[in-house]
Amino acid sequence: MRQLIAGNWKMNGLSAEAAAIVTPLRAGATGLACDLLVCPPFTQIAAVASLLAGSVVAVGGQDCHVNDKGAHTGDISAAMLRDAGATWVILGHSERRQDHHETDALIQAKTKAAIAGGLTPIVCVGETEAQRNTAEHNQVVGAQLAGSLPPGFAGVVAYEPVWAIGTGKTATEDDVAAMHLFIRTTLVQQLGPNGEAIRILYGGSVRPANAGSLLAVPHVGGALVGGASLKAEDFLGIAKAAKV
Ligand code: PGA
């Protein structure tokens, strides 16, 4: 299974900055042994998709609404993302779970909407530092998977421990191995044999310097990269560390 290296730009990227990231990314992306995806803010999706047209780098959104259109001020639908050139969408990121009080049920509804709209979803799960300190991480992630993934789910899951996001702290390889095995086992229980084929990304302070060891952990199917995806050189450095 090819690893997926996905960049989550979060709320970063004015027009000039977006072009400065994707122009060298496009040039450096050919011949890599992994799949590549960038998820810019909504305002840059069409421009980024146009700059990357015909390249191996796919484009995704960072959220979508459960409905495909209607009276939902400020929201964006899966159909709109598709129309702008996206083929992927990140859902249930911990920043949305926190800032927008997104529940597992809402994330499941968004996941269904994304699939119906022709997007491949990346559904994020992960425990807080307090939950890890009280050894609740498996229980928390298990509940998130049970609640957020619709029956027959065939997208991507991203494990992002909240305490590792943007902090420079990464989970140890042993912790990543244990959690990714737990997620794999849960996916197979939940989805049957199809759960074996789902890529499970690790996210949280992935950098070129730590990517090689994280991407070598069993059941790690790639990386969801925040800060380091804002520099083409760093993002490509992570992609070059992908395992075949
Ligand atoms: P980070 O973010 O790489 O900046 O820690 C990861 C993410 O939130 O997807």
Q: Is pLDDT above 90 for 1? A: no
- Which stretches of 2-125 are DSSP H helices? 15-28, 45-51, 78-84, 94-99, 104-116
Q: Quick one: what percent of the chain has pLDDT higher than 70?
A: 100
Of these residues, 93, 137, 180, 219, which one is catalytic?
Answer: 93
Of these residues, 95, 102, 127, 160, which one is catalytic?
Answer: 160
| pLDDT in the model for residue 228 | 98
Would you say the C-alpha torsion 98, 99, 103, 108 has a positive or negative sign? negative
**Contact 227 CB / ligand 1 (< 6 Å):** yes
Active site residue 196: no
**Contact 226 CB / ligand 1 (< 6 Å):** yes
CA of 192 to the centre of ligand 1 (A): 30
pLDDT, tens only, 92-150: 999 999 999 999 999 999 999 999 999 999 999 999 999 999 999 999 999 999 999 99
**Contact 98 CB / ligand 1 (< 6 Å):** no
Model pTM above 0.95: yes
- Of 9, 4, 61, 40, the closest CA to residue 200 belongs to 4
pLDDT, tens only, 67-103: 999 999 999 999 999 999 999 999 999 999 999 999 9
- Of 150, 141, 158, 139, the closest CA to residue 202 belongs to 158
| pLDDT in the model for residue 244 | 84
| pLDDT in the model for residue 170 | 87
Q: Is pLDDT above 90 for 55? A: yes
Tally DSSP H helices, then E strands, for the chain. Answer: 10, 8
Active site residue 93: yes
